[in-house]
Every structure is written in C-alpha cells, then in structure tokens.
Amino acid sequence: MAPKLERVLETCLYVDDLDRAARFYSEILGLTTLTRDARFHAYDVGQRSVLLLFQRGATLETVHLPGGSIPPHDGRGPLHIAFAITAAELPEWEERLGRSAVAIEGRTVWPRGGRSIYFRDPDGHLLELATPGLWAIY
C-alpha cells in the first residue's frame, strides 16, 4: 500500500512587488501574516494551509538554513488559487471586494450547487472564492 498525501500544506505565488501584494492579501483578503522577510511573506489560510508570496526572482538561489536547504524555485505568468468560503459569506465577500475596487471577473454556479467568484490580485493572479458544492470532496 502506498503512503497517502494528507492535504496541500503550502502553495505559493510569485509577485513583482512584495509590499503591494502583502497589502492586498492582508487588507483585502484579511489574511494573517505568519512570518516574512525580504524574499517572502507567509499567510495563515483558515488554520489549515499556508499561502506563500515570494518576490519574483528572489528564490533563484538555494537557501541554506541551520536545519538544511531549500532548492531554487520561481514562477511566471498568472496562476490560479481557489479559497474555500461558506455560502453564507459569499455576499459579504462580494461587497468587500466592491468596496475595495476589486472587479469580479466571473461567476459560476456549479452542478453540485457550489458557487464561485473570480477576481485578480495586483499581479494578475486569478483568485477564486468557492462555496461548498464545487467538488465531490467540497
């Protein structure tokens, strides 16, 4: 029997202006910073996962830590992340984004009853807020 994966623990986006991105994810999305330095910010997402924002190009060299090393990584182009929300909070999110002048680019009602809204962060990454009913497991 093969070992199983539990969940996605971290995911990351690469941004051109770390301070601008940090303001968006803290102020607009309300995420709490776990740690940060000149290369990245780490955010708590629902006490179940971590969103890492890396300054684009700042992770092209191996990082050596007292406990080991992290190999180089980077990314280009607009990526996509979906955040889970409750169905009851969807209207509040729509209002919050509108007050912050964040345009909702798309809306979807899924066959299982879930609903999604789509918008962009300052670096053009496509963000989704999705209610239960999107996937068979959610």
Q: What is the pTM of this model?
A: 0.93
Domains 1-76 and 77-138 share a fold: yes
What amino acid is encoded at 42 in this protein? A
Maximum pairwise Cα distance, the chain:
51
CA dist 90 and 115 (Å) reads 8
User: Where are the chain's structural domains?
Assistant: 1-76, 77-138
Sheet holding 49-55, edge to edge: 10-15, 49-55, 40-45, 32-36
> Which residue's entry shows tokens 């180089």?
72
Hey, what are 50's tokens? Answer: 């971590």
Instruction: Give the residue carrying structure tokens 């990584």.
Output: 73
Which architecture does CATH list for 77-138?
A: Roll (3.10)
Provide the residue-wise pLDDT of the chain in tens; the chain has 138 residues: 899 888 899 999 999 999 999 999 999 999 999 999 999 999 999 999 999 999 999 999 999 999 999 999 999 999 999 999 999 999 999 999 999 999 999 999 999 999 999 999 999 999 999 999 999 999
CATH of domain 1-76: 3.10.180.10
